[in-house]
Amino acid sequence: MNSPTLLATLEVYFEAFAERDSGRRGELLSRCFTERGEIWGPNQLFAGHAAISEKIARFHDNWPGCRLVLATGVTTFSNFMRFGNAIVGVDGSVLATGETIIELAPNGRMSRVVPFWEAALPLLPDTWPKHLAVSTSPAPDGTQPGQ
């Protein structure tokens, strides 16, 4: 899938998140999501246009006057895309950041959205085998890894 097609789909997705009118939002969702499209949440799965529309309505209730916006460029691999996003307040301040992975259907519409909010990856546990991890100690010649 080419970049203009991906960006056009994303633009409709972000417009749907900005839309307060449920009828108009439903039209936008039908343009960017498959009929059985899903947004996965940490505690709930929103499947289908009606459930996703309700999720967006709750977003507006929980984040009054805020917008979901694209915060980075987009990377792709096969039928997946990944990008950074943010929730922006009325004054333009960034209130939350995250990263989203989207699976696209063959028709170019989204079939699955998996958002990760404020999800910095943790450090490796101390018990992780050192030979299966990136070394952070200097090499025998005194250089740091990657030099």
The predicted-structure confidence for 90-124, as pLDDT tens digits, reads as follows 999 999 999 999 999 999 999 999 999 986 788 89
Please report the domains of the chain, with CATH numbers, ordered by start residue: 3-117 (3.10.450.50)
Contact 53, 29 (CB under 8 A): yes
- The reported pTM is 0.83
Mean pLDDT across 63-73: 96
Residue 43 pLDDT grade (very low, low, confident, very high; cuts 50, 70, 90): confident
pLDDT digits (tens, 9 = 90+) for 121-142: 888 999 999 999 987 666 666 6
Is the confidence at residue 55, as pLDDT, over 70?
yes
Helix 49-62 to helix 3-18 angle (10° resolution) is 60
Residue 27: what pLDDT?
A: 98
Q: Over the chain, what is the mean pLDDT? A: 91
Mean pLDDT across 62-73: 96
Residue of 92, 104, 85 lying closest to 17 (CA atoms):
85
Mean pLDDT across 14-23: 97
Residue 3: what pLDDT?
A: 75
Residue 145: what pLDDT?
A: 53
For residues 120-140, b (16+ Cβ closer than 10 Å) or e, as one string?
A: eeeeeeeeeeeeeeeeeeeee
Contact 59, 47 (CB under 8 A): no
